[in-house]
Amino acid sequence: MSKRLAEGGLLIDRNKTIKFEFNGKKLSGFEGDTLASALLSNDQVLVGRSFKYHRPRGIVSSGSEEPNALINLGEKEKFEPNQRATTTELFDGLKAASQNHWPSLNFDFGVINNYLARFLPAGFYYKMFIHPRPFWKYIYEPFIRQSAGLGRAPSQKDNSQYEHFYAFYDLVIVGGGIAGLNAALTAAESGLKILIMEQTPEWGGRCLVDFSKIGDETSSEYVSRLLSELRKFQNVTMRSRMMGAGVYDHGYILGYERLNDHLAADEGPRHRLWRIRAKQIITATGSIERPVSFPSNDIPGVMLASAVRDYAVKFGVATGDKIAVYTNNDDAYRTAITLNEVGVEVPVIVDARMSGGGALAERAKALGIRVENGKAISKVFGKKRVEAIRICEHKDSGKGNEKIECDCIAMSGGWSPVVHLYSHCGGKLKWDEKLALFKPDSSAKPTSHDGLPFVTAVGSANGSLLMHEVLKDAWEGCLSVIKAAGGKVKTKNFKVIEQQYENSLQAIWIAPHDADIKKRAKIWLDFQNDVKINDVELAAREGFESVEHAKRYTTLGMATDQGKLSNINGLAILSSSLGKDIPKVGTTTFRPPYTPISLGSIGGSARDELFQPVRKTPMHDWHENNGAYMEPVGQWRRPFCYPQFGETYAKAVEREINQTRSSLGLLDASTLGKLLVTGPDAGKFLDMLYTNMMSTLKIGKCRYGLMCSENGFLIDDGVVARIDEQTWLCHTTTGGADSIHAHMEEWLQTEWWDWKVYVANVTEQYAQIGVVGPNARKLLEKIGGLDVSREALGFMEWKDGKLGKYDARIFRISFSGELSYEIAVPAKQGMAFWDELIEAGKEFQVMPYGTEALHVMRAEKGFIMIGDETDGTVIPQDLNLNWAISKKKDDYLGKRAQERSFMVNPNRWKLVGLETLDGSVLPDGAYATADGVNPNGQKSTQGRVTSSYFSPTLKRGIAMGLVMNGPERDGEIIEFPKIDGTAMQAKITSPVFYDPDGEKQNV
């Protein structure tokens, strides 16, 4: 059984017991445990089920490469699926549950897939479930879907906080093992600003477990010394529990800091995503041990040799009573020796190499451990737990019958450098035949904005596996980047540390060597996704020759560990099946993140009230406090209407219109864009921007203008006021304030840069209020100040002055057809001014009105609305706005484009009014049909509705639309089918439904 040893455990505090639950079972561990070590200390070896066959799964590793020990963690708003037990620090009250089984972990119906495994090879679903067709949708897929997925879906909103942090360093070092720490120390002396991050809570990496001594010091003394030396440097920032998640172009690197995951309750942000710019990056990310591919290597109790060692040394946990070691290299002997030292029986070390191991092997033998060279494990006994193994000659098909009892297998198939971060941004790899691993090709590092390399791997991440090589490589690698990072190299001599001789590894990709097809069907490559050797061979046989094809066909390496354990083993099988060398086949692309990062951290603090900015006018709070139903308009929120006494929105709109048309309405028009354009060439400039002539506008006057894109389409409209000899004030739509400002700057800066014009966006300087209705003038006269009489301030004129106590600019313009003033006051006076208008307007039963009333009133009047009558495909000519297109100008933006054949086609759809015969309202967006169908069998059309409303003024439906040759077809009746199959008939009319002669506004 797997259990806590009587003593030992570098990271745990045996005085602090931590209580936790697994599948409802109350268990305990110690402070410093991971969930995995705590589970193992409680003999909980079975922790989950595999994805496809629902086979029993046990903990394999001790780190972020873990494919099996994925659990549902926490509850309610803190529930998180697919959390790795091996990287989850234990805390009091932790609740975990295993995944992907029903009804229970121990007894899972899904395991039926396991018995059908032979019928479910790689890619089986591409070949099956084809007939009968409806079965896929109704039977096959729902079944597959239900059985897919791993963890449970969360059911509640996550209330934790997240934040981002921007940081800039000369040098970022990822990995806090001895390579990273030494690199940091070397670089620290050069004066560089340095960040070193480590994904686990502790520093020192593997060295604490792997080496008792480094030079003259114990390994823990050695690490402590490095840390204390580093902490003396002001220029070095050290962060643990922070993972290098991804490397992006131009020195951008993401650091994923987990601040609270080891705590029972949140204290501040849960995760912080560091968005770092580094001049240089060193990846000292170490390497990951590879499993050995032997029959039934997926049974719980089969673990990585390094993990078995980790659990013993770091946590004082023996992962079994009898642990067999299976290796192709010397490193796993350390596990055997360590186990022996802590009193765990090692019945055998199976070494695939005929020549066996080096000095470590000699030591193991001296300790009395049985070592079998040139052997393989040909069979594992046990279903949910290893019970025994059978061993045979490696160069064989699996004959041999010695059965050795053990309840855990510590396997080592060699090591793979963690090259992910090095590769994310295009770093190339090369194959090291001797060590059987891919390592960074130092001649093809990723390059940055200057075209020069910016990521350097050191230590075992660079393929330097032995300790003395690691130290030397960290030193050399660091020296090579200091200059590029902007520092000065201060050369001190490298202190050589000797290490025991190790015998070289022998690559074994399948064991035993001649395993037959039956055995190959039981050798797992990807434990989570259930990909076996025969699956990869099948892919190769069927022509999925590229590594990407094979990956996608078999799903090898696509599980949540992204193939950290399986990729190289699978690649080797693919290569041998294709008869090619491994480097010829190549690796799949490494993509961020290194291990999965929370979506919450990616979103950062941008949630709830910070999700997006809400732009607010000076009167925003008043609207909200007075019951306005607000609609999002860009980032603004504008009152759609102000419902009262529980009335519907439609009723509110009707009431607002009736009151405005009969007496007085107020509109918060502050969001409309206001752009000030000034300079000796301002008139010339506006003549280019607008289709109209703006240079001739008289001071004190207003003119409605249209703007087109260079592609000819109408993009914005609004009233332009001439302020003084050199200054114009251009009103834009709400959405146009920023975009038209940018549009003006673009033309001024990049095309007409010698024109003397300045533009300023003064939209937010003013609160702008529409005072609209027959009593508008009376209200202003009541407030007093500026003369707003018909004579003093005519239609399409503006004036500055005092209105009451307010600094006002009054525009006499109308978008409703009523007598109307738009009054701009400094934004800070806006609320007081609005209050005063409401107060003084009471005698006229003044009502605020919203955007919908605005839209209906303008439609009654036949005014176009950008975004309704236009949609990016409409030119001013389509809207019969030729009157606003100057004939005198040689040029304006869009003029040439409007001369293209399709733009001058006489059959373009043009603006008309539409009146339903029965007075009902045409559906939004309805199309008018024409006879027949087009060559693709679609019903022919001849027009469409662009705006459609119930008009409270006319008490009937009114609409505007674009109809082929529309204006020439006045009075004609056309048909608009509805989606329900019925149709409506409408008569083509003038689009001006209300007060066509303008008697109302010109009073």
Partner 1 sequence: MLVFKCPYCGIEADETELSPGGEAHLKRFGPGSSDEELEGYLFNRENPKGVHFERWRHVYGCGKWFHAARCTATLEVFGTYSAQTFEPPKEIIDIIKAKRPGWKWRNLS
Partner 2 sequence: MSDHQNERVMRSYSGYVKVSEKTTVGMLTVRGDFRSSKFKTSFTKAVGTKLPKEREVILARNDIAWMSPDELLIFCDYADVSNLSQNLQMELKDQHHMLVNVSDARALFEVSGSGIREVIAKLAPVNIATLEIGEIRRTRFSQIAAAFWLTSETSLSVICFSSVADYMFNLLKTSSMLNSKVGDF
Partner 3 sequence: MKRYSVFAVAREALRYHQGWSRAWKSPEPKKNYDAIIIGAGGHGLATAYYLGKNHGLKNVAILEKGWLGGGNTGRNTTIIRSNYLQDASAAIYEKARSLYETMSQDLNYNVMFSPRGVMMLAQTQHEIRGYKRTAQANALQGVSTEFISPEKVKSLVPIINIDGPRYPVLGALWQSRGGTARHDAVAWGYARACSDMGMDIIQQCEVTGIRHENGQVQGVETSKGSIDCQKLGIVVAGHTGVLADMAGFRMPVEAVALQALVSEPIKPCMDVVVMANTVHGYMSQSDKGEMVIGGGADGYNNYTQRGSFHHVEETVRALIETFPIISRLKMLRWWGGIVDMTGDRSPILSKTPVGNIFINCGWGTGGFKAIPGSGWAMAELMAKGHSSLTEEFSLNRFKEGKFIDESVAAGVAH
Sign of CA dihedral 519, 525, 530, 536: negative
Q: Indicate whether 923 belongs to the interface with partner 3 (CB under 8 A).
A: yes
Backbone angles phi, psi at 901, to 5 degrees: -55, -45
Nearest approach in angstroms of CB 765 to partner 2 is 4
- Which residue stretch of 80-88, 232-240, 381-389, 789-797 sits at the interface with partner 3 (rule: CB under 8 A)? 80-88
User: Which of residues 23, 480, 576, 711 is near partner 1 by CB under 8 A?
Assistant: 711
- Residue holding tokens 């095309």? 751
598 binds, among partner 1, partner 3, partner 2, none (CB under 5 to 8 A by kind): partner 3
Nearest approach in angstroms of CB 187 to partner 2 is 17
DSSP string, 515-533: --HHHHTT-EEETTTTEEH
Taking the chain, what is the end-to-end CA distance rounded to the nearest angstrom?
97
829 binds, among partner 3, partner 2, partner 1, none (CB under 5 to 8 A by kind): partner 2
Query: Which residues 507-526 are close enough to bind partner 3 by CB under 8 A?
Result: 517-518, 521
Nearest approach in angstroms of CB 192 to partner 3 is 25
Strand partners, 911: 962
17 binds, among partner 3, partner 2, partner 1, none (CB under 5 to 8 A by kind): none
DSSP string, 973-991: EEEEE-TTS-EEEEEEE-S
Give the CA distances from residue 271 to residues 65, 257, 265, in Å, rounded to whole numbers and listed in that order.
20, 6, 13
Residue 218 and residue 174 in contact, taking contact as beta carbons nearer than 8 Å: no
Token pair, residue 201, equals 């809570």
Q: Indicate whether 744 belongs to the interface with partner 3 (CB under 8 A).
A: no
Instruction: Report, in angstroms and rounded to the nearest whole number, the Rg of the chain calculated over CA atoms.
Output: 38
Query: Which residues 899-938 are close enough to bind partner 1 by CB under 8 A?
Result: 899-901
Report residue 430 CA to chain centroid gap: 31
Cα separation, 355 vs 392, in Å, equals 16
895 binds, among partner 3, partner 1, partner 2, none (CB under 5 to 8 A by kind): partner 1
Nearer to partner 1, 167 or 388 (CB): 167
Nearest approach in angstroms of CB 686 to partner 1 is 16
Cα separation, 798 vs 729, in Å, equals 11
Q: Indicate whether 964 belongs to the interface with partner 3 (CB under 8 A).
A: no
Give the CA distances from residue 757 to residues 683, 687, 715, 911, in Å, rounded to whole numbers and listed in that order.
9, 13, 22, 36
Nearest approach in angstroms of CB 34 to partner 2 is 25
String marking each residue 437-466 x if it binds partner 1 according to CB under 8 A: ----------xxxxx---------------
b or e along 161-170 (b: 16 or more beta carbons within 10 Å of the residue's beta carbon)? Answer: bbbbeebebb
User: Which of residues 20, 544, 685, 821 is near partner 3 by CB under 8 A?
Assistant: 544
602 binds, among partner 3, partner 1, partner 2, none (CB under 5 to 8 A by kind): partner 3
Strand partners, 167: 276
Interface positions with partner 2 (CB under 8 A): 161, 163-168, 193, 237, 267-269, 272, 275, 277, 605-606, 609-610, 612-618, 635-636, 676, 678-680, 756, 758, 760, 762-766, 805-807, 826-832, 835
112 binds, among partner 1, partner 3, partner 2, none (CB under 5 to 8 A by kind): none
Give the CA distances from residue 790 to residues 299, 798, 872, in Å, rounded to whole numbers and listed in that order.
93, 12, 38
745 binds, among partner 2, partner 1, partner 3, none (CB under 5 to 8 A by kind): partner 1
Q: Indicate whether 891 belongs to the interface with partner 1 (CB under 8 A).
A: yes
Return all residues near 96 (Cβ < 8 A) that are at least 6 apart: 20, 21, 22, 23, 35, 71, 72, 73, 83, 85, 88
Backbone angles phi, psi at 207, to 5 degrees: -65, -30
Q: Where are the beta strands (DSSP E) in 505-596?
A: 524-526, 531-532
String marking each residue 753-772 x if it binds partner 1 according to CB under 8 A: x-------------------
Backbone angles phi, psi at 294, to 5 degrees: -135, 160
Question: Of 711, 633, 558, which Cα lies nearest the Cα of 122?
Answer: 558
User: Which of residues 749, 905, 907, 982 is near partner 1 by CB under 8 A?
Assistant: 749
Nearest approach in angstroms of CB 681 to partner 3 is 30
Residue 446 and residue 453 in contact, taking contact as beta carbons nearer than 8 Å: yes
User: Which of residues 228, 491, 936, 982 is near partner 3 by CB under 8 A?
Assistant: 936
- Which residue stretch of 829-837, 856-864, 876-884, 892-900 sits at the interface with partner 1 (rule: CB under 8 A)? 892-900
753 binds, among partner 1, partner 3, partner 2, none (CB under 5 to 8 A by kind): partner 1
Nearer to partner 2, 218 or 765 (CB): 765
- Which residue stretch of 319-327, 467-475, 533-541, 676-684 sits at the interface with partner 3 (rule: CB under 8 A)? 533-541
Query: Which residues 639-678 are close enough to bind partner 3 by CB under 8 A?
Result: 640
Maximum CA pair distance of the chain?
Answer: 114
Nearest approach in angstroms of CB 671 to partner 1 is 20
Nearest approach in angstroms of CB 620 to partner 3 is 14
Nearer to partner 2, 77 or 745 (CB): 745
Kind plus residue range of the DSSP H or E element containing 88:
none
Q: Indicate whether 232 belongs to the interface with partner 3 (CB under 8 A).
A: no
Nearest approach in angstroms of CB 556 to partner 1 is 30
Return all residues near 697 (Cβ < 8 A) that are at least 6 apart: 703, 720, 722, 728
Contacts of 838-843 with C-beta under 8 Å, sequence gap 24+, read: 838/666, 840/779, 840/782, 840/783, 841/664, 841/666, 841/775, 841/779
What's at 145, amino acid-wise?
A: R
Report residue 162 CA to chain centroid gap: 14
Q: Indicate whether 710 belongs to the interface with partner 1 (CB under 8 A).
A: yes
521 binds, among partner 2, partner 3, partner 1, none (CB under 5 to 8 A by kind): partner 3
Q: For the chain, how many residues are written?
A: 1003
Nearest approach in angstroms of CB 777 to partner 2 is 23
Report residue 245 CA to chain centroid gap: 13
Pairing of strands 636-641, 665-668: unpaired
Query: Which residues 408-467 are close enough to bind partner 3 by CB under 8 A?
Result: 425-426
Give the CA distances from residue 85 to residues 70, 76, 82, 436, in Å, rounded to whole numbers and listed in that order.
6, 19, 9, 30
How many residues in the shown chain lie near partner 3 by CB under 8 A?
113
Nearer to partner 1, 164 or 580 (CB): 164
User: Which of residues 6, 265, 496, 599 is near partner 3 by CB under 8 A?
Assistant: 599
User: Which of residues 103, 451, 932, 937 is near partner 3 by CB under 8 A?
Assistant: 937
Nearest approach in angstroms of CB 453 to partner 1 is 12
Query: Which residues 130-189 are close enough to bind partner 3 by CB under 8 A?
Result: 130-131, 133, 136-137, 141, 144-146, 148-158, 160
Nearest approach in angstroms of CB 295 to partner 3 is 14
How many residues in the shown chain lie near partner 1 by CB under 8 A?
29
At residue 879's C-alpha, the angle toward residues 873 and 883, to 5°, is: 125
Query: Which residues 240-299 are close enough to bind partner 1 by CB under 8 A?
Result: 248-252, 277
Nearer to partner 3, 221 or 924 (CB): 924
Nearest approach in angstroms of CB 857 to partner 3 is 16
User: Which of residues 872, 919, 996, 998 is near partner 3 by CB under 8 A?
Assistant: 872
Residue 438 and residue 287 in contact, taking contact as beta carbons nearer than 8 Å: no
- Residue holding tokens 């002055």? 801
Cα separation, 114 vs 101, in Å, equals 13
Kind plus residue range of the DSSP H or E element containing 761:
strand 758-761
Q: What angle separates helix 547-554 from helix 533-541, to the nearest 10 degrees? A: 120
Contacts to partner 1 by CB under 8 A: 248-252, 277, 426, 447-451, 710-711, 742, 745-746, 749-751, 753, 890-891, 895-897, 899-901
